[in-house]
Structure 1
Amino acid sequence: MTSIMQMITLGSVTFCLIGGVAALSAEQSFYPPALNNTAYIANSSIGTYGGIYRAPTNGPTEGTPYGIYDYCSMPHPRAQEYALPEPLEQGRAKGKLVYLEYLQRHQRRSPYNILPEGENQAYQCDSVRPYLYAGPNAASGVQPIPMYAQTYQDHTNPFTPGVNGTCQYPQITIGGVQDGYRHGRDLWAVYGQKLGLIPREPNSRVWFRSSNSPLTQATAGAVLRGVWPEYHGALPLHQMVSSVDTVNEGYSCSAVSSTLSDIESTTEWKAHLNVTAELRSILGSMLGATDSSWQGTFDHFSDNFQARLCNGYELPCSVANASNCVTVDMAEEVFRAGDWEWNYYWRTNPDAVKYIQVVEGLFIGEIISRLQAVIDGKSTVDYSHIFIHDGDIGPILGALGIDVLRWPAMGSNIAFEIWETKEKQSPFYARVLYSGHPVQSIYGTLDWVPLSQLVDILKRYVPDDIVSLCG
C-alpha cells in the first residue's frame, strides 16, 4: 500500500497495492472482505485498503486510477468509464433511461471537530465565498447586494475558536467547490449528452433538495453550475423545516439515541474499543482528546484527520510539543476503525433494521414514492438530485444490503437509474450505482433489477408508524 507519507513525498502516485503485494481493482477498494472482523482495524499491512486520503488545498481531486475509494472526493458516473447496464450493453434488452434519482453527500470541507487543546495549523478559507443574502421572488422587487461571509478574529475577543485562520467549522472549502463543479460537468456528460435525460436548461421536470446545512446548499450551487454552466437564472433548492427534516436527523426521535446506545453496548462494539485502546490512549494524551466524545467512537478523530489531509494540510501535532505528531500508521488505523464502525452501524449490528428505520426510514419512503410514481406512470419528474450527508448515504446503502460499507466519503453518491423496456410483465428496471459502480449487495449486483423488486427491498426499512416508534 502506498502510504499517506509517500503521497506527501511523491505527489501524484497510483494507489492500487495492499502492503505492496496484492493489486486492487477500483471496485475492490470499496469492499474490504475482512471489514466485519475487528482484526481488520489492527492489521497495519492493510494500510488504507486502496483508498486515498490526500488532496491539494486548491484544485479538484485527481483520484488515480479513477474510480477507487477516494475519501476526499468519491468517484461518480463519468463519461470515460460509463457503460450501459449489461443487458443493454450486450443487446439482450432494449431500454431508455426515463428517471434518475441522484443522492450525494456534500463535497470537501473544513472539520466539524476541532482538537480540544487547539489546532497547530491555521485553516484559510479566503479563497471561497459563502454567500448569504435574500431577495424577493420577483425581478421587479428590490434586489439585494450579494453578500458573503468573511470570517475574522479580533484581538479584543478573549475567547479563541481553537484554531487560527479564516474558516468556519465546518464550511465548504475551495477544493470542495471545484470538486462540485467537476462532479456536475461529469453528470451532464453522462446523463445529459450521452443519455439525453437531463435537459439543456432546467425545466419543470427537474427537482432539487438539500438538508438545511450550508454544506449541502453550497455543494448544490457548485454541482448544478457544472450541470448548466451557461444558465443565468435562479433555481429552487427544496428544504424541509429543520425540526421535521427527514434527512440529517432533523426530526426528534428518542428511539435514535436509545437504539444507538444498544448498538454501542454489544460485545462486538466493546471488542473494537479493546482493539483500539492503545491507539485512543496515545491520541488522547497527545491531542488532549480524552473525553467520551473523542474516546467513545472514531468519529471525531477521523473527521479531524480527514479534513486536514483532504485540504492540503498535515496530520496534527501536540500544541504543547511540536515534535509529538500523529503518524501515518496512526491515521490509517483511525480510518480503518471508522470504516468498521460505519459497517457495524448500518450493516452488521443486530438492530441495523430498526436503526435504519428510525434514522432514515421516512426519507427512504420518499424515495420509494418517487419510484412508485414511475411504475404507475404518474411521475412529474425525470431528474431528482438531493444533497445530503454521510449519515444519510450510510443507512440507504445499508437498506440496499451493500456487502460491505466503508465510510461514505466526500461527494459519495447513489444513482437510481430507472430504465423503461418493452417487457410486458416488468417494463421498468433499475440499476443502482454507488459512486459510479453497480452496488454489490446481498441481493446480488444491482445492475439490472425489476423496479418493483427494488421497491420491495427498500420497503422493509420504512416504519409503519414512525411517531409511535419514536415515542
Structure 2
Amino acid sequence: MAALAHRIVSAAVVAATMSPVDTFYPAALNDTSYITNSSIGTYGGTYSAPANKLSGGSPYGVYDYCTMPHPRVSEYTMPSDPHAKLVHLEYMQRHQRRTMYNLAPGGENQPFDCSTFEGFLYGASTGAADAIPMYADVYTDPANPFVDGLPYVNTTCFFPQLTTGGLLDGIQHGRDLWALYGAKLGIIPRSINEHVWLRSTSSPLTQQSAGGVTHGIWPSHSGAVPLRQQSGGVDTVNSGYPCDARSSTLASIQATDAFQAHLDVTADLRAALGDILGATDSDWQSTFDHFSDNFQARLCNGYQLPCKFTDPSKCVSAAQAEEVFRAGDWEWQHYWRNNALAQQYIQLTEGLFIGEIIGRLQAATTSKQQYAYAHTFIHDNDLGPILGAFGISQMRWPAMGSNIAIEIWESKGSYYARVLYCGHVMRTIHGDLDWMPVNTLVNILEPYVPTDIVAQCNA
C-alpha cells in the first residue's frame, strides 16, 4: 500500500516534451481513452501534500491538485508595452485544502485529525462590546449510541472543513499576491480601503480561505473586515438561487451518449470501488464526483488511500485512484466545454455572476469603477463554468486554490485585458487571452449572460 500510494502522491514524471503548463491541457481529454489509458497516470499532475503543513508545492506551473499555482513575482511576465499601467485586478479563486464532503458509506478506516485548526464562530454588534471569540471543537461522547455504527467517523473534523494545511497555503497565496500585485504593480493598496472588494459564498470553506489569504496580503491589519455575501436563495455563486432548468439541463448532459460511454468503460472500476467503500448507490456510481472528492481530500492532507472498513487487506490502489482522477477531469471537460448544452448550462449556473464580472471590467475603462482590486472566494463549481465561458482549451478539475486573474491595463488612453489561469496566460479556443482590447474579452463572455434568468430557469 505504501509503495502504491507513493506512486500516485509523488510528482509524476513529465515527458521531456511537456512543459509544466502543459499539464493543465491534456491531449485527448474529450475522448474516453483519456480515462482508460493507464500509461497517462496523472498526466504530469500532483496529488500530494503534507498533513497540517504548508504545501511544498510542485515546479511552478504544474497542475497540483492540492495547491494550485498562482501569480508570483519570480515567474510573472510584464506586458511588452512600456506605457502600460495596471488599473484593475479581478481575482477569483477556489478555497484551499479541506476535508472531504463524502465519507465512505461503508466506514472510514482513517479518522481525520483537525485538532490544530480552530474554526471561529462568534458575533459582534456595531457600537457594542464584542462577544468572546469561540471556535468549534469537535469531539465524540463515547456514550453516544450511534458511535458504533459503521458510517460514523471518530474524528476531530467537520466534513467538509478547511484544514491547517489549507489555511497555511492560503496565507502563502496572499503573501505572493501582495508581492506581485501590491509591492510590484501597486494595484492592491497597502491597507484595506474603499477600493477593495472582497466577497465569498456562504460556506465556511470560502470564508476561512479569505481570512488566510487576506492575512497573507495585509499581515499587519487589525480589526474586522467586511466579506460580502449575498443572501441565501438569491446568491449568484455556488448555485445559490432556485433554478429547475439547471437540474434538468444537467440531467440531459448526463444522458448523452458520450457521458454514458464514459460510465460504460469505467463499469469495472466503479464496481470494485463500490465494494471496497460500500459505495454502491447512485450518488457514488452515477459520476466520479464522490470518489474523487474522497481520494483527493485524503492525499492532499497526508493520508493514504482508503481500505475496506471490515477488511484492511482490500485497499484502493494508486492505479484505481489515477483512473478516478482522469474520469473526473473528463467529466468537467464534458460539463462545461464538450457538449451541445454547455452554453445553456453555463448561463443557468454562473451567468449572473459572469454579468457582474463584465460590469466591473467595463467600469474599469471609465471613471465609474470604484474598485481597483476585487477578490471573490468561490468553489470549483463556480470556476468550471467561468473557465467554460472563456473557452479554455481543455479543462481539468479546477483544484484547490485554483485562480483566475483578469488584469485590465491602460496604455495611452486605450484599455487592454489579459487573463491568467493559475499564474499563466489562459489557453482557449480564441487563442491565448493575452493583451486584447477589453471589449474583445467582454464579447467572449457576453453570450453566457442570460437575458432573462427567471424565465429561463422556469422554462
TM-score tier (shorter): over 0.9
1:202-237 Cα deviation digits (max 9, x unpaired): 111001000000000000000000000011121100
Q: Does 1:132 align with 2:130?
A: no
Find the aligned partners of 1:79 and 1:159 in 2 and give their Cα distance. 52
**Once the 2 structures are TM-superposed, how far is the Cα of residue 158 of structure 1 from its aligned partner?**
1.9
For residue 367 of structure 1, the aligned residue among 343, 357, 380 is: 357
Q: Which residue does 1:143 correspond to in 2?
A: 130
Give the Cα separation in 2 of the matches to 1:404 and 1:5: 31
| Contact preservation (8 Å) 1:54, 1:312 | yes
Match of 1:43 in 2: 37
Q: CA RMSD in A?
A: 1.6
Q: How does 1:202-281 map to 2 (within 5 A)?
A: 202-281=192-271
* 1:333-370 deviation line (CA, Å, top 9, x unaligned): 00000000000000001100000000000000110111
- Deviation digits for residues 9-38 of structure 1, max 9, x if unmatched? 799x654425xxx45211100000110101
Q: What SS is found at the alignment partner of 2:74?
A: coil
Cα distance in 2 for residues equivalent to 1:23 and 1:128: 41
Alignment match, 2:63: 69
Identity within the alignment, %? 58
Which amino acid letter does the alignment assign opposite residue 124 of structure 1?
D
Asked whether the 8 Å contact 2:95–2:206 carries over to 1, the reply is: yes
Q: How many residues were matched structurally?
A: 455
Tell me the equivalent position of 1:103.
92
Instruction: Give, in angstroms, the shift of residue 438 of structure 1.
Output: 0.5
Per mean C-alpha deviation after superposition, the further-off stretch among 260-269 and 57-66 is: 57-66
Distance in 2, Cα, partners of 1:16 & 1:447? 29
Match of 1:153 in 2: 140
Where does residue 321 of structure 1 map in the other structure? 311
- CA change 1:392–1:5 in 2 (3 A) is farther
Q: Which runs of 5+ in 2 are unaligned?
A: none
Q: Could you tell me which amino acid in structure 2 is paired with residue 154 of structure 1?
A: D
Q: Which amino acid aligns with 1:195?
A: L
Distance 1:318 1:401 in 2: 41
Cα offset for 1:4? Answer: 9.4
Q: Distance in 2 between matches of 1:438 and 1:66?
A: 14
Q: Is the 8 A contact 1:70 1:409 kept in 2?
A: yes
Report the 3-state secondary structure (helix = DSSP H, G, I; strand = E; otherwise coil) of the residue aligned with 1:324: strand
Aligned to 2:103: 114
User: Counterpart of 2:164?
Assistant: 174
1:27 corresponds to 2:24: no
Q: Which amino acid aligns with 1:172?
A: L
Residue among 8, 15, 36 paired with 2:6: 8
Structure 1 residues 14, 302: CA separation in 2 closer, same or farther (over 3 Å shift)?
closer
CA distance in 1, matches of 2:276, 2:199: 41
1:464 partnered with 2:454: no
Q: Distance in 2 between matches of 1:179 and 1:330?
A: 28
Q: What is the match of residue 195 of structure 1? A: 185
Q: Secondary structure at the match of 1:241?
A: coil
The answer (yes or no) to whether the contact 2:11–2:45 under 8 Å persists in 1 is no
TM-score, reference length from structure 2: 0.97
2:371 corresponds in structure 1 to 381
The alignment status of 1:56 with 2:39, answered yes or no, reads no
CA contact (8 A) 2:96 2:401 kept: yes
Quote the residue 1:434 is aligned against: 421
User: Quick one: distance in 1 between partners of 2:36 and 2:6?
Assistant: 23
Tell me, in whole angstroms, the C-alpha distance in 2 between the residues paired with 1:76 and 1:217: 19
C-alpha displacement of 1:383: 0.3
From the superposition, tell whether residues 70 and 4 of structure 1 become closer, same or farther in structure 2 (CA, over 3 Å): farther
One-letter code aligned to 1:61: S
Amino acid at match of 2:275: S
SS at match of 2:442: helix
**What do the CA deviations read for 1:226-278 (whole angstroms, capped 9, x no partner)?**
00001112110000001111100010000111000100000000000011011
Q: Is the 8 A contact 1:15 1:65 kept in 2?
A: no
Amino acid across the alignment from 1:433: L
Q: 1:17 aligns with which of 9, 14, 17?
A: 14
| TM-score, length of structure 1 as denominator length | 0.94
- Equivalent position SS for 2:66: coil
The one-character-per-residue Cα deviations of 1:370-394 (angstroms, maximum 9, x if unpaired) are 1111123310000000000000000
CA contact 1:110–1:168 (8 Å) conserved in 2: yes
Secondary structure of the corresponding residue to residue 51 of structure 2: coil
Deviations 1:165-195 (A, max 9, x none): 1000000000000000000000000000110
What CA distance in whole angstroms lies between the structure 2 residues aligned with 1:385 and 1:131?
A: 22
- Counterpart CA distance in 2 for 1:9 and 1:453 is 44
Say which SS state the counterpart of residue 17 (structure 1) adopts. coil
Partner of 2:290: 300
Structure 1: distance between partners of 2:394 and 2:361: 25
The equivalent residue for 1:335 is: 325
